[in-house]
Amino acid sequence: MAAARLSGTENRLVSLPLSRIRVIMKSSPEVSSINQDALFLTAKATELFVQYLATYSYKHGRGKEKNALTYSDLSHTAEECETFQFLADILPKKILASKYLKMLEKEKQDGEVREDDDEDEEEEDEDKVVGGSVGS
Amino acid sequence: MAERPEDLNLPNAVITRIIKEALPDGVNISKEARSAISRAASVFVLYATSCANNFAMKGKRKTLNAGDVLSAMEEMEFQRFVAPLKESLEVYRREQKGKKEARKDKDKKADSEEQDKSREEDNDDDDERMEEEEQNDEEEVDN
C-alpha cells in the first residue's frame, strides 16, 4: 500500500507535530501514558483552539478596524470571555495600546527594557510604570 | 523526562500558518500576538492533559484515551470542538489501520503488535512508543 501517500493525507489532518505535543503532555508529572488516539485528539484540539482564539479575538478586538490582530486583542479575550479565562495569567492586560507601542519604540532604541520588569506594577499605575521603567 | 524549556513551545511557523488560515486574507498578525497565541496553545495542551488525566484517574486507568480528551473538551467549555474532533479521529483511525495493515503485510509481525497493544494499558511499553515516535518523525519530514 502507498504509505507515503497515506502519511501525506495525515498531514492535512493535523499540522502540529505529534512528538512535540507528546513532550508537552508528558511534562505534566501526573500523566503516565497517553495512547495514540488521545495524542492525536489533543494535537487536533490545539489546532482548533488556535483558530478559535485567533478568530474570536479578531472579531471582538479593536484591531479589526486596522485589519490587524494585536496582543491587546488577545489579552482582552482572556479577560472578557469566560472560556478563555484560563489564559488570563499568561496574557496579562498590559497598558494602553498607544503606550505599549511607544514602549516598543523605546525598547528598540535601548534594547534593554524587559517586559517582565513591568508586569507586576503596570496594572496599578500605568503612567508611573511607563515613566519609571522606560525613563521618559 | 528531562526536557529543555524550549521543548514546551510549539513550532512558530506552524502556529502562524494556522492563524493565517483562520483569519481573513490580509490581516496583519503582530509578532507579540503570534508568540502569545503560541504560549496559549502550550497552556491549552497542559490544561487539556490535566483535565483528561482526571477522567482517566476517575476510571482507574493509567493511559489517557480518546474519551478522556473529549470529556476534557466538554469540561473546559470547548464543546464546539467535540464534533469536529470525532470526525477527525475517525479519519485518523482509518489511516492508522491502513498503515498498520501495510506494515503487517511487510514484516509479518501482527501477533507481537497485538500483544503490545494490550499491554499498553498496564505498563509503559517503550518498544511500541519508540515505534510510534519513529512513525511521527517520518510524518514530519514528509511535511
- Residues in a beta bridge with A34: B64
Which residue positions in chain B have pLDDT lower than 70?
1-3, 108-143
H or E element at residue B127: helix B126-142
Q: What is the DSSP letter of A28?
A: S
* Cell numbers placing A41: 485528539
Domain end marker among B60, B77, B94:
B77
H or E element at residue B38: helix B31-58
Q: How far apart are the first and last CA of chain B?
A: 27
| Residues B92 and B63 reside in one and the same domain | no
Q: Contact A40/B140, CB-based, under 8 Å? A: no
Q: Is B90 exposed, middle or buried (0-12, 13-18, 19+ CB in 10 A)?
A: exposed
Q: Contact B102/A9, CB-based, under 8 Å? A: no
CATH number at residue B38: 1.10.20.10
The nearest alpha carbon in chain B to A32 belongs to B62
pTM to 2 decimal places: 0.69
Q: ipTM value of the model?
A: 0.73
State what percent of residues in chain B have pLDDT above 90: 61
| Residues B5 and B39 reside in one and the same domain | yes
- pLDDT tens by residue, B40-65: 999 999 999 999 999 999 999 999 99
Q: Contact B98/A49, CB-based, under 8 Å? A: no
Domain that holds residue B40: 1-77
Q: How far apart are the first and last CA of chain A?
A: 67
Q: Which of residues 22-51 of A touch B (CB under 8 A)?
A: 23-28, 30-38, 40-42, 44-51
Structurally, chain B folds into a number of domains equal to 2
- pLDDT tens by residue, A13-64: 999 999 999 999 999 999 999 999 999 999 999 999 999 999 999 999 987 7
Q: Find where cell 499498553 sits.
A: B120
- Identity at A109, one-letter amino acid code: Q
Domain end marker among B25, B48, B77:
B77
Report helix angle A18-26 to B31-58, nearest 10.
Answer: 60
Rg (CA), chain B: 18
Question: So what's the pLDDT on residue B4?
Answer: 74
Q: Find where cell 489511516 sits.
A: B95
| Residues B52 and B108 reside in one and the same domain | no
| Residues B88 and B124 reside in one and the same domain | yes
Find chain B residues with C-beta within 8 A of A41's C-beta: 66, 69-70, 85, 88-89
Q: Contact B33/A16, CB-based, under 8 Å? A: no
| Residues B66 and B115 reside in one and the same domain | no
The nearest alpha carbon in chain B to A34 belongs to B64
Q: Is A89 exposed, middle or buried (0-12, 13-18, 19+ CB in 10 A)?
A: exposed
H or E element at residue A51: helix A36-60
Q: Contact A9/B95, CB-based, under 8 Å? A: yes
Nearest CA-CA partner of A102 in A131, A65, A70: A131
The shortest CB-CB distance from A90 to any of B26, B40, B120 is to B40
